[in-house]
A and B are shown apart, each in its own frame.
Chain A
Amino acid sequence: MYPLTVLLPLFVGGIAALAMGVSPKSERYAKYVALAGALGSALLTVLLLVHAAPLPSQIAWFSAGGYSFHLELSFTSANQLLLLLIAVISPLIFLYSVGYMDVPSEQSRYYFLMSLFAVSMTLLAMSGGFLTFFIAWEGLGITSYLLIGFWYHKEAPPLAARKAITTILVGDICLLAGMLMIWSIFHTFSFAAIISGAHALATIPTIIIAAGVLLLVGAFTKSAQFPFHEWLSDAMEGPTPVSAFLHSSTMVKAGVFLAILLIPLFIELKLLWLMLVIGAITVLVGAVTALASDHIKKILAYSTMEDLGLMFVALGLNAIPAALLFFAVQAIYKALLLMSSGTIMKANGDDVNIYRVSSFGRNRLLFISALIGALSLAGLFPFSGFFGKVAIDSAAVSNVTVYVVLTVADFLTALYIFRWLFVPMGNQRRAPRSLIIAKFATMKRSMQAPQAILAAGVLAFTAYLFINGNFAVNLAAASIETAVVVFGMLAAYIMFKKTTSMLSERSRARLLMHTSYPVNAAYNLLAASVIGIARGAEAFERYLNRVLYAGARGVVGLGSSTKVAENGNVNTYVAALAVGLVIVLLLLILVP
């Protein structure tokens, strides 16, 4: 009975998805079915979190070779947190989509994929073992691929989708390899059993360390960590609600989530340093590139990378509460900011360049929501982002290098997010365009409401943290962070609001800081070297065929010299056959 209750949210989403898959003609109703499914799912998840006293549970799936395999579910605090986040964000995203996705012909495909994604994400949040986790993980990868390439008749989206799926494929295979190697030691896929098994090991076998590294590579690809990160900014080619849902607040967290679930194992394997190093590099790369980019969504994508890097840094410092806090805080403000950029794009006829678009017109609601999101992302006291950042900074105090990296990143964050806010507003002041202003004023309610709700969510979260703030904050770290953020905001105000020549569209500094170019060049080099190996294989294959052909020619040559015997006379054949048989029999008898 209990596992069935757990699966209810999955069923609601699944039914919504299937209903649309079955009748592709129902373009008009797809959005309402999907919205109802998301709401129902959210409601059930909340009921589940409030009422059920959750226990780990498993469902037998299949058995082979004397072993049985189970689908495990669990309800640790990390699982509950992610479930809650999905329950909050997914109905808002679906509501936003109702207004945003106004192409009538593609509705059912869009909502089908989104519902499928929501189901996979819920399953991921509930998973308590590798099998369940991997099923959900691949579901995320595939729906993400299909949603990035959603506008596949345009030029860029198929390329972006290909880059995403190729990176994700590498991660998938690494994760699969890692989990199978772990199984070979513990003979279980259950996270809890693996962790207790790892504690009980006297010496750590090398195979588990290799497996741990593979698992982390899987996590890094999904969570867009250096050097597997470039797909995330390209993923912004997808529809904006997809970016807000998958590529900022939920799916990209899957890698971090895996690391959180298995952190005791990684501590046991002494692999925390890997998370710390990769996380710190990603933080810097993300923050610098976000400052250099001119794409209204890609700035936020690089910022997401930075946020995920911060979470890995927190995990690498073994500061799990800090990582979890930031995990929750980031989802809300990042979804809000991406919705905001979607609204700006909508009003500007899908233009994405911050030097061309103008923002918000006289729409105060949209402006204030975006401002709250930006302040929270920058980490200004007392917004929720502040608590997340300070928790990580406090953990990093003992490690000077990391602390310096984080502080630099704090400054850059304040700088780039206010650049994101100020530059489009400046465009409007210079050249007021009445049409765009009118578009902002008449923006659909279904798009405005989720932004207002999320902004209220940021504030509510802030209030919650004030009331329930039972976490250790290093006061010095908090004051340094606040000073750096204020300084960053001031710098942004001077650089991007007062004067507009800094980091302008054509400035060389901007291009130099844009890490995409070298990273993509490195990817191309890697692809070229793989093709080089393939060329080598092809050349060898030709050579091999020539050898086999020569061998065959030799046999044929032998054949033509014995052609005398092949005269079509049946008697000759029978005689030859008899002689041959006698020889074979003699051989068999004489040679024991």
Chain B
Amino acid sequence: MIPLLLLMLAIPAFFLALLIVYKRRSAWIATISAASGLVLAIAVIATAAFSGNPSITENYGYIPSLSIGLNLRTSPASLVLLLMTSIVILVTASSGNIAKDRERTASILLVLFQIGAFGLFLSGNFFIFFIFWDIGVIAPFFMINVLGSANRRAASYKFIIYELFASALLLFGILLIYFYAPGHSLSISALPSAYSSMPVGIQETIFLLLFVAFLINVPLFPLHSWLPDAHTEASTQGSMVLSGVLTKFGGFGMLIIFTSMPIAHAYSIYIAALAAFSAFYAAFLMMRQQDIKRIVAHTTIVEMSIIVFAIATLTNIGATGAIYGMLAHGIAVAMMFLAAGAIEHMFHSRNIGFLKGISHNAKLTSWIFLAGIFAMTGVPLTAGFIADILIFLGAISAFGAYGIIPLFSLIFMGAFMYFVINKSFFANKGRIEAEDTVDSRPAVGYAVLLAALFLFGILPFILLGIVNLK
């Protein structure tokens, strides 16, 4: 039996070591690492599908004295997220560094992030969940702080303060679980039974601590303001993984706490209301943005709010929709940020007031950006459509007709995106010329992401078959 899950961590770790030792061809090494991640993710999914068992587990000794092991485990949600993560990271590694800027640093950070993300989605207990969470936060911090654009320092500190605050709450919650669970078990799969034996006050505290930690990461109103700064100032690769993968850490955590902590029922209606408000709030904030990356960053808040809303429905179909929504959003937003990065590199500006008629020089990028808008607004045959259907069917069954309300935030988001693409991409008045033509440099990346969007939109039964496994 091949230890597939361990390999998913060991192979990137090996490439990370190689990157540190061997100083040339860094981008290639990172790409190979990402590609092997994708191959392994597909192998894990195939194993789960053929055995009919979505939870593959592998256990290794780690800290026996504290009865903490290196427990690796998959769940339907983590299988889907692993696949999404490996696709996004593959494209980020192969096409994300459009300017070919400090390739070695960028590659090291990306592979480090790959380890963090894979480890988080594979973690079988909260101890290693926490470790990989922090690895996943540290790597993007440097992607902003070192590789970012003009305002990178302030943005990176804002990011790290929010995320460390979230980490602290997470750690506190995990410590409470450790002390109150029978046999000091931190196992995620045993959490439901352990949780029910805890005192009610502690149950509530744990739920709220973890919920706020994940809320910051997702992020939801009112603790969202790190996201637009961080996503805007990060390097293109940084924005792609931040929006595409890092925000899913919180979503994945939310899925865990909402499915294994029955106390969620008491809070779900308030959380759903907060998420719905957050979706509209972010959509309106977005309308006042001038920076193309900030605009895309705000769509992330809108979409992730809708995903938390779906999780808060506490229905099977809503949770499935949330998982599918994270898949669709991760791929779509990575594509948008890749296109935004190409635009920034070509026109040396991200300001929609300055950018005019850029489709003349950036034809491919413009069409990709348009396709990204379609995917974001849930046009059929893209993965977002399947997600929207499932999310809002779950929402209506949980909250009645009110459940449909957050869907209308997409009108504001979509209308503004069409305004932007019309004003800056297609309208020809006062057209500006590119200073650097790299329009087709990320073409392979675009193709991979587009293919994934349509594959999961046209043939949704492939992944939903796995999610439906019980």
- Does A159 interact with chain B (Cβ within 8 Å)? yes
Q: Contact partner of B285 among A169, A170, A541, CB < 8 A? A: A541
Q: Which residues of B199-255 have CB atoms within 8 Å of chain A's CB atoms?
A: 199, 222-223, 225
Q: Tell yes or no: A524 within 8 A of B by CB.
A: no
The residue from A134, A162, A177, A210 contacting B419, defined by CB atoms under 8 A apart: A162
B317 A64 Cβ-Cβ under 8 A: yes
Indicate the member of A138, A180, A536 with the most B CB atoms within 10 Å. A180
The answer to the question of B59 belonging to the interface, with a C-beta cut-off of 8 Å to chain A, is: no
Closest chain-A Cβ to B295's Cβ sits at a distance in Å of 12
Q: Mark B411-443, 1 if CB is under 8 A from A, else 0.
A: 110110011001000111100000000000000
Contact A62 B377 (CB under 8 A): no
Known: A63-B468, A64-B468, A535-B288. A162 touches B422 (CB 8 A): yes
CB proximity of B351 to chain A, nearest CB, Å: 17
Asked if B426 contacts A158 (CB within 8 A), the reply is: yes
User: Is A548 part of the contact surface with B, judged by Cβ < 8 Å?
Assistant: yes
A20, chain B: closest CB distance, angstroms: 15
> When the two chains form the complex, which single residue of A135, A169, A584 contacts B380, counting CB atoms closer than 8 Å?
A135
Q: Is the CB of B393 within 8 A of A544?
A: no
A545 close to B (CB within 8 Å): yes
Give the distance in Å from the alpha carbon of A63 to the alpha carbon of B286 in the complex.
Answer: 34
Q: Is A181 an interface residue (CB 8 A)?
A: yes
Are B396 and A181 neighbours in the complex by a CB distance under 8 Å? yes
User: Which of A63, A158, A535, A536 has most chain B Cβ within 10 Å?
Assistant: A158
- For residue A476, CB closer than 8 A to chain B, the reply is no
**A176 on the B face (CB < 8 A):** yes
Interface check B179, CB cutoff 8 A:
yes
Given contacts A173-B407, A173-B408, contact A538 B392 (CB under 8 A): no
Chain B residues positioned under 8 Å from A135 (CB to CB)? 380-381
| CB-contacts of B112-169 with A (<8 A) | 161
Q: Say how far B14's CB is from chain A's closest CB, in angstroms.
A: 34
**Interface code B379-411, partner A: CB below 8 Å = 1, 0 otherwise?**
111000010111011101100110010011011
Q: Which of B223, B285, B319, B359 contacts A537 (CB 8 A)?
A: B285
CB distance from A22 to the nearest CB of B (A): 13
A147-155, A255-263, A297-305 - the one binding chain B: A147-155
CB-based contact B411/A170 at 8 Å = yes
**B404 touches which of A62, A69, A177 (Cβ 8 Å):** A177
CB contact under 8 A between A166 and B386, given known A65-B320, A545-B225: no
Q: Is the CB of A152 within 8 A of B315?
A: no
Cβ B317 vs Cβ A166 within 8 A: no
Interface bin, chain A: 35 or more
Kindly supply a per-residue 1/0 record for chain A positions 524-539, scoring 1 wherever the CB is within 8 Å of any chain B CB and 0 otherwise: 0000001101111110
Chain A 67-82 residues near chain B, CB threshold 8 A: 67, 69
Inter-chain contact A180/B396, CB cutoff 8 Å = yes
Are B288's CB and A538's CB within 8 A?
yes
Interface string of A166-197 (1 = CB under 8 A from B): 10011011001100110110000000000000
Q: Which of A534-592 contact B (CB under 8 A)?
A: 534-538, 541, 544-545, 548, 552, 584, 588, 592
- List 27 contacting pairs A-B, 8 Å CB cutoff, sorted by A: A65-B315, A65-B390, A65-B394, A152-B428, A153-B360, A153-B428, A155-B429, A158-B422, A158-B426, A158-B428, A166-B418, A169-B377, A169-B411, A170-B411, A177-B392, A180-B389, A180-B393, A181-B396, A184-B396, A207-B396, A207-B401, A531-B287, A534-B288, A537-B281, A538-B284, A545-B225, A552-B161
- Of all A-B residue pairs in the complex, the 10 with the closest CB atoms, nearest first, are A65-B317, A534-B287, A537-B284, A135-B380, A184-B396, A62-B461, A162-B422, A534-B284, A65-B316, A152-B426
Given A177-B408, A180-B396, 7 additional A-B pairs, CB 8 A: A63-B468, A135-B380, A176-B392, A207-B400, A538-B288, A541-B285, A548-B225
